[in-house]
């Protein structure tokens, strides 16, 4: 059943009796060509592209909980391609281009909204660094504009320009950046993959790998053994735990990242703003809530909830940037588990075990990567070669000293 304006009208006039479940409740088969572990954004996107672009058949996605229960439904919905390093910029720009055609591709309204993302700068050196980053973006085919203080004032007159400890001098704007409704991304990919024959199996936790003579032949799950020619792991915050079952120790630590939503307010923030003198960012949802967040919690955890010191830090950042936010009441908050890699960049690679592939290390920036990550992982699984935009995301880069340290801050989990 295709979704369209005509369909909505027809259903509205006929009592909404024609809607069908968006995807089947598939039962596990004994054997698949390809199994993807993890029904988050990346796993579902990989399955969809495997079936739609790489002509692969007999694919299953195994999800231990429900579709949308992980980070894909917990993030703050920001998409952008404002990276500086060549290894990252090409990949994230590829992702942004896929976002731009996503809704037509999967026939699902994901509310892709290119409302612009603005990174504020507060000093001359920071301005110079942003100018350099903007130029790197443009060289990679992305869009970027360096704004002075007047330029920022025109967009966001309510910001605390001069009275703050770190006055706002200007910002780097990426007009094509923005937000996408995160759970619609999961549902859209799930529905489109299911339509192409992918089995989406919820409540099916992988509890072990069948590895014989260095080859992975399938997985053990809470719903029995499932054989596969190839197994791809895309479990985000659970990467270390799952890969440990295959005897692998990853250069990844898991930390909690929190998100916050205020009560609904009249439209005030047209785009996404990130504060350059602290860790705070904010946008406004279509329902009116201010959606904001900041840094990861300071210690490792697999709990999908956060702690108060970060709440305080995020609120201080918000008050410093736009003091009127102090009048808004907080409606809800939650946490998700981040797979923090040691250089802050992801991994999409084969492992040393034949037939076992890994996708992870997305840190707190993997939502925007969902389409490109899924596409590149599908490319790797189908062809056994990396996609051209993901060639640098190798697992062995840590032992070869080829880190992709976008922030120039070394090991990301040890920032505190
Ligand atoms: C608060 C917050 C804000 C964020 N904001 C942004 C943002 O604005 N922009 C951005 O780009 N990124 C953001 N992120 C990061 C982004 O959400 C993640 O990097 C990305 O969603 C991770 O990929 P995923 O969607 O596949 O993960 P998930 O949705 O977590 O999928 C992984 C799945 O694997 C499943 N799984 C785990 N173990 C097993 C097992 N043994 N068997 C079967 N299934 C298993 C889990 O249940 C889960 O559903 C944010 C994250 C959080 C928490």
Burial class (CB in 10 A: 0-12, 13-18, 19+), 249: exposed
- Counted residue by residue, the chain has a size of 416
The 10s digit of each residue's pLDDT in 112-132 is 999 999 999 999 999 999 999
Q: What percent of the chain has pLDDT over 70?
A: 98
Strands 117-121, 170-174: pairing kind: antiparallel
Are 179 and 149 in contact by the 8 Å Cβ rule? The answer is no
- Residue 412 is predicted with a pLDDT of 63
- Residue 414 is predicted with a pLDDT of 52
Question: 117 by DSSP, 3-state: which?
Answer: strand
- Residue 83 is predicted with a pLDDT of 97
**What is the CA(413)–ligand 1 centre distance, in A?**
17
Please give the number of the atom of ligand 1 that sits closest to the Cα of 78.
Answer: 8
Question: 162 by DSSP, 3-state: which?
Answer: coil
Radius of gyration of the chain (CA): 21
The 10s digit of each residue's pLDDT in 63-108 is 999 999 999 999 999 999 999 999 999 999 999 999 999 999 999 9
Encoded tokens for 270? 């047209």
Q: How far apart are CA 315 and CA 201, in angstroms?
A: 39
Q: How far apart are CA 257 and CA 280, in angstroms?
A: 12
CA-to-CA dists, residue 161 to 211, 252, 322, angstroms = 59, 38, 9
* pLDDT of 3 above 50: yes
Give the list of residues 6+ apart from residue 269 with CB closer than 8 angstroms, or none.
156, 282, 283, 284, 290
H or E, element range at 310: helix 308-321
- Residue 1 is predicted with a pLDDT of 73
Encoded tokens for 195? 């339509």
- Residue 13 is predicted with a pLDDT of 97
The 10s digit of each residue's pLDDT in 141-160 is 999 999 999 999 999 999 99
Q: How far apart are CA 305 and CA 292, in angstroms?
A: 16
Q: How far apart are CA 190 and CA 343, in angstroms?
A: 31
Best residue among 110, 307, 336 to mutate for probing ligand 1's pocket (most ligand atoms within 8 Å of CB) is 336
Q: What is the mean pLDDT of the chain?
A: 96
Best residue among 68, 189, 236, 271 to mutate for probing ligand 1's pocket (most ligand atoms within 8 Å of CB) is 236
Best residue among 68, 225, 250, 364 to mutate for probing ligand 1's pocket (most ligand atoms within 8 Å of CB) is 364
Encoded tokens for 240? 């270390």
- Residue 41 is predicted with a pLDDT of 98
Are 65 and 203 in contact by the 8 Å Cβ rule? The answer is yes
Are 96 and 82 in contact by the 8 Å Cβ rule? The answer is no
What is the arithmetic mean of pLDDT over 164-193?
96
Q: What is the DSSP string of 227-258?
A: EEEEEEE--GGGHHHHHHTTT---SEEEEEEE
**What is the CA(51)–ligand 1 centre distance, in A?**
22
Are 180 and 77 in contact by the 8 Å Cβ rule? The answer is yes
**What is the CA(151)–ligand 1 centre distance, in A?**
35
The 10s digit of each residue's pLDDT in 373-410 is 999 999 999 999 999 999 999 999 999 999 999 988 76
- Residue 203 is predicted with a pLDDT of 98
- pTM for the model stands at 0.97
Q: How far apart are CA 254 and CA 94, in angstroms?
A: 27
Contact residues of ligand 1, CB 6 A cut-off: 37-43, 62-65, 69-72, 74-78, 205-206, 234-238, 242, 257-259, 293, 336, 362, 364-368
Encoded tokens for 37? 């572990």
154: β partners:
none
- Residue 408 is predicted with a pLDDT of 80
3-state secondary structure 117-184: EEEEECCHHHHHHHHHHHHHHHHCCCCCEEEEHHHHHHHCCCCCCCCCCCCCCEEEEECCCEECCHHH
CA-to-CA dists, residue 61 to 74, 220, 339, 346, angstroms = 20, 14, 20, 21
* pLDDT of 416 above 60: no
């Amino acid at each position: 059943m295709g979704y369209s304006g005509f369909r909505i009208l027809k259903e509205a006039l006929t009592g909404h009796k024609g809607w069908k479940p968006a995807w089947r409740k598939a039962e596990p088969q004994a054997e698949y060509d390809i199994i993807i572990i993890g029904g988050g954004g990346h796993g579902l996107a990989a399955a969809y592209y495997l079936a739609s672009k790489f002509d692969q058949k007999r694919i299953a996605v195994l999800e231990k909980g429900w579709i949308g229960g992980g980070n894909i439904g917990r993030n703050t919905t920001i998409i952008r391609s404002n990276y500086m390093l060549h290894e990252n910029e090409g990949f994230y720009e590829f992702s942004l281009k896929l976002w731009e055609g996503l809704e037509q591709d999967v026939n699902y309204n994901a509310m892709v909204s290119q409302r612009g993302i603005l990174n504020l700068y507060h000093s001359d050196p920071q301005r110079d660094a942003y100018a350099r980053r903007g130029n790197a973006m443009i060289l990679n085919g992305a869009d970027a504009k360096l704004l002075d203080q007047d330029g920022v004032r025109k967009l966001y007159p309510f910001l605390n320009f001069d009275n703050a400890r770190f006055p706002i001098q200007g910002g780097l704007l990426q007009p094509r950046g923005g937000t996408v409704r995160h759970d619609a991304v999961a549902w859209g990919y799930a529905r489109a993959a299911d339509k192409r024959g992918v089995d989406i199996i919820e409540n099916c936790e992988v509890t072990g790998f069948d590895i014989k003579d260095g080859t992975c032949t399938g997985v053990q799950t809470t719903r029995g053994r499932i054989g596969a020619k190839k197994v791809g792991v895309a479990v985000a915050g659970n990467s270390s735990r799952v890969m440990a079952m295959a005897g692998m120790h990853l250069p990844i630590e898991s930390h909690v990242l929190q998100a916050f939503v205020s009560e609904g307010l009249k439209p005030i923030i047209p785009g996404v703003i990130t504060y350059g003198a602290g860790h705070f960012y904010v946008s406004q949802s279509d329902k009116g809530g201010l959606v904001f967040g900041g840094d990861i919690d300071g210690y490792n955890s697999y709990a999908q909830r956060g702690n108060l010191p970060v709440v305080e830090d995020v609120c201080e950042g918000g008050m410093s940037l736009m003091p009127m936010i102090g009048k808004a009441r907080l409606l809800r908050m939650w946490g998700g588990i981040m797979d923090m890699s040691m250089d802050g960049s992801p991994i999409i690679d084969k492992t040393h075990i034949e037939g076992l592939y890994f996708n992870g290390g997305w840190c707190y920036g993997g939502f925007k990567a969902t389409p490109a990550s899924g596409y590149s992982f599908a490319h790797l699984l189908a062809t056994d070669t990396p996609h051209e935009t993901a060639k640098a995301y190798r697992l062995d880069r840590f032992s070869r000293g080829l880190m992709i340290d976008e922030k120039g801050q070394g090991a990301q989990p040890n920032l505190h």
